[in-house]
Structure 1
Amino acid sequence: MTEAASRRRGRPPRTESADTRDRILNAAREEFSERGYDKTSVRGIAKAAGVDSALVHHYFGTKEQVFESAIEVAFAPALNAPEALADGPLDGVGERLTRFVFGIWENPGTRTPLLAIVRSAVNNDTAAAVFRRLVASQLLRRIAAQLDLPDAELRAELAAAQLVGTAMLRYVIKVEPLASADPEQIIRRLAPVVQGHLTGP
């Protein structure tokens, strides 16, 4: 049997596999953004990507696993937060983290996929579990490691709760006057509170 014939019967070539995988991920992010977790199906993702649904299962498995892979890419900018903490003195960590987080939310390119993630997590237990797992393992524990304090994980979670809660009210629920307030004003007021959670007594 020739190599070409063998490849036709087996998996697609590596470059084709990467392209197909990326196409499925892009389609999944768009589907989850537009429809939310509950109304998105593997079949719908496959149709949007122009592939058979069996290929979605082949590359990612279940809908939950597709969601996790899709949001991991969308959530990637937020995963640089621990580096933002490390880049400077500890007494300015609250402002650096607050400024970093709101920089992501204020950027339309990163805000749109984040909104999709948060909305899905709020409305669906499975999506919430995936989001929680990603945030805990890849973000909060890394932030806690930068603090080097006995209750570092709780401190990181409280700081995150402050920032996520404010972001929810501003960008998702759009409560006024918070929704239209100047971002710099929010950062000035929020940064000392976040600093207190991270390094206060």
Structure 2
Amino acid sequence: MRTSKAQQAQTRRRLIETAVRLMSERGYDATTLKDVAREAGVGDATVYNYFASKERLLTGYFELVIDDALVQWRATPELGQFSLQEKLQCLVDAVLERLRPDRPFVALARDLLTRAPLTVLGADLPGKAVMQRELERLLDEAEAAAQIAPCSFKAALGGLWIDYLFGVIAFWLQDESPHEGETTELVDLSLELLVMVLHAGLLNRVLALGGFLLRAQMGRWMRRGPALIDLLRGVRAAVGPA
């Protein structure tokens, strides 16, 4: 009997949730796909129809997180009345809220994925396509509402959005400040700066440089500390209104 798409999605979620629990308890190396399948009540061979490897299961986790976060974010009351910056802040908050219960596993998965730079920095970064479409849509709406200047680089900026999110996640994992205050300030400052640049119409001149710097500095985002926040404060002061 063929399983429906809903059943397949339910099985996929069950496998991911089981893997999170087992890997958090036993460690990545001590957990096999067969362990995950048996614990989740799925056939040993069937699990490979969903995940060809443990690495693919890790990326599947982040894809599920992003899908769940988007559902939660879209259900935010009066989201349509928010400014572009508020919408983006709310979206980042939804992603972090979804990750928070699994923080030890997220750290484990991040460390493992960073050993595969083509996954972390390439086109296959988990959730890239769906987040790119979402950001492009938000930019279209903001442009139509005259919140930002006309922008011809929405697709490129959308492609950088998932890099930004994973940078925030890496920073958050190292954040030991009270109530994750440094992460909150990082997000607020960086998104405020982004919207200021978009509103001023500067994006066409700085996008290429900004994209290069974002990827080049990903390692620094993985370390907690005030340096990055101080940098953002300085840039905001430099480009902000007098």
Alignment match, 2:138 = 146
Cα displacement string for residues 84-134 of structure 1 (whole angstroms, at most 9, x for unaligned residues): 8x7236xx21232123312442x3x53244725544432334753799443
Q: Which structure dedicates a bigger proportion of its chain to helix?
A: 1
Alignment match, 1:76 = 67
1: CA distance between counterparts of 2:156 and 2:178?
26
- List runs of 5+ in structure 1 lacking aligned partners: 1-10
- List runs of 5+ in structure 2 lacking aligned partners: 141-150, 202-242
The 1:31/1:127 distance shift into structure 2, 3 A limit, reads farther
Q: Please point out which of 78, 87, 100 is paired with 1:111.
A: 100
Indicate if the aligned counterparts of 2:128 and 2:162 stay in contact, CA closer than 8 A: no
| 1:30 counterpart = 2:21 | yes
Indicate if the aligned counterparts of 1:46 and 1:52 stay in contact, CA closer than 8 A: yes
What's the TM-score once normalised by structure 1's chain length?
0.62
The 1:136/1:39 distance shift into structure 2, 3 A limit, reads farther
Aligned residues: 180
- Percent identical across equivalent pairs? 17
Indicate if the aligned counterparts of 1:94 and 1:193 stay in contact, CA closer than 8 A: no
* Alignment root-mean-square deviation, CA: 4.1
Alignment match, 1:54 = 45
What's the TM-score once normalised by structure 2's chain length?
0.53
2: CA distance between counterparts of 1:51 and 1:97?
38
The 1:198/1:88 distance shift into structure 2, 3 A limit, reads farther
| 1:87 counterpart = 2:88 | no
The 1:27/1:12 distance shift into structure 2, 3 A limit, reads farther
2: CA distance between counterparts of 1:129 and 1:29?
23
Segments ≥4 residues shifted beyond 6 Å: none
| Larger RCO (alpha carbons 8 Å, 6+ apart) | 1
